[in-house]
Amino acid sequence: MGLLRRHFVLLLCVVLGVGLCSGLGFWQLHRLAWKEGLLAQIAARRDAPPAPPPPRADWAGLNPDDYDYRPVTLRGLFDHAKESYLFRASATGAAGGGPGYEVVTPLRLDGGGVVFVNRGFVPAELKDPAARAMGQIAGETLVTGLMRRPESRNSFTPPDEPAKNLWFTRDPSAVAAHWGLTDAAPFTVDADSTPNPGGWPKGGATVMTIPNNHLSYALTWFALAATLGAVAGVYVWRRETTGREAS
């Protein structure tokens, strides 16, 4: 009890610190299990054969967790006059390189409704449709790709600039409001890497590699907990040893 009284504040701080670090470590292990399940689900979905999209009547009730990365086939007409530009600091997927834009174009479906299709990446010098006129497909077309949920923002995401038709997140509701489209799907579709006439846009822009660093984070927190406990133990031992020698 004398040891506890002499170092009560220090030991209390150590217990709280070790508990906090350990709790964060176990939380990261929980996140690891969740992420591994998500990655397995994505892999199973993206390798499935493409199917028709959900009927328009079901769009309002869709849960993004149930459709993200699901392969679909769409048939309809592109409205190139309403294409929008999603800025990317570097190209992803099949395109490589960067920076530039992903071209998001509304596709008027044969059965009614509009789906925004991410047709793929173009470098900055090809943002103007006139510079890639061959790729502006006319007439009915078939698009195969992956359904995607709206993209979330964080504190580093710049605000969209609708006046410039420039976007920094994949948000179909915002783009639909900009173009006055009231029958747009709440999801988008990333077109696959099938070449477009003229080579641009380059499809296959879907990011297939999702970071999974939760195990290393967990080990880091557990290591901090162990280090904090060890340093405190050595400190108390030295103080006690010095005190006994002095007496």
| Residue 97 placed within a domain | yes
Alpha carbon separation from 206 to 23, 49, 210, 213 (Å, rounded): 34, 17, 11, 20
| Residue 167 placed within a domain | yes
- Residue 224 and residue 187 share a domain: no
Candidates 104, 128, 99; CA nearest to 115 is: 104
Q: Which residue in the block uniquely carries the two structure tokens 């999702």?
A: 210
- Residue 155 and residue 226 share a domain: no
Cα first-last separation, the chain: 19
Q: Which residues contact 26 (CB under 8 A, 6 or more apart)?
A: 218
- Predicted confidence band at 3 (pLDDT cuts at 50, 70, 90)? low
| Residue 79 placed within a domain | yes
- Residue 104 and residue 23 share a domain: no
pTM for this prediction: 0.78
**Count of structural domains within the chain:** 2
| Residue 226 placed within a domain | yes
| Residue 136 placed within a domain | yes
Structure token digits, residue 64: 């993004």
pLDDT tens digits for range 57-104: 999 999 998 999 999 999 999 999 999 999 987 655 545 566 899 999
| Residue 60 placed within a domain | no
- Residue 177 and residue 127 share a domain: yes
- DSSP three-state, residue 180: coil
- Residue 191 and residue 84 share a domain: yes
Cα 197 to chain centroid, rounded:
29
For residues 84-109, one letter each, b for 16 or more C-beta atoms within 10 angstroms of the residue's C-beta and e for the rest, the string is bbbbbeebbbbbeeeebbbbbbbbeb
- Residue 222 and residue 121 share a domain: no
Kind plus residue range of the DSSP H or E element containing 186:
strand 184-191
CB 199 within 8 A of CB 135: yes
pLDDT tens digits for range 103-136: 999 999 998 999 999 999 999 999 999 999 999 9
Domain extent for 112: 70-199
| Residue 93 placed within a domain | yes
* pLDDT, greater one: 241 or 77: 77
- Residue 189 and residue 99 share a domain: yes
- Residue 159 and residue 76 share a domain: yes
In sign, the C-alpha dihedral spanning 147, 132, 176, 85 is: positive
| Residue 19 placed within a domain | yes
Residue 247 scores a pLDDT above 80: no
Structure token digits, residue 146: 């992956």
- Residue 124 and residue 74 share a domain: yes
- Residue 229 and residue 180 share a domain: no
Residue 100 bridge partners (DSSP): 88, 123
- Residue 174 and residue 113 share a domain: yes
Over residues 37-59, mean pLDDT: 87
Residue 243 scores a pLDDT above 70: no
pLDDT tens digits for range 193-215: 899 999 999 998 887 777 788 88
Alpha carbon separation from 211 to 27, 32, 39, 152 (Å, rounded): 17, 11, 10, 16
- DSSP three-state, residue 125: helix
CB 68 within 8 A of CB 145: no
- Residue 177 and residue 122 share a domain: yes
Among the ranges given (18-27, 60-69, 229-238), the one the predictor scored with the smallest mean pLDDT: 229-238
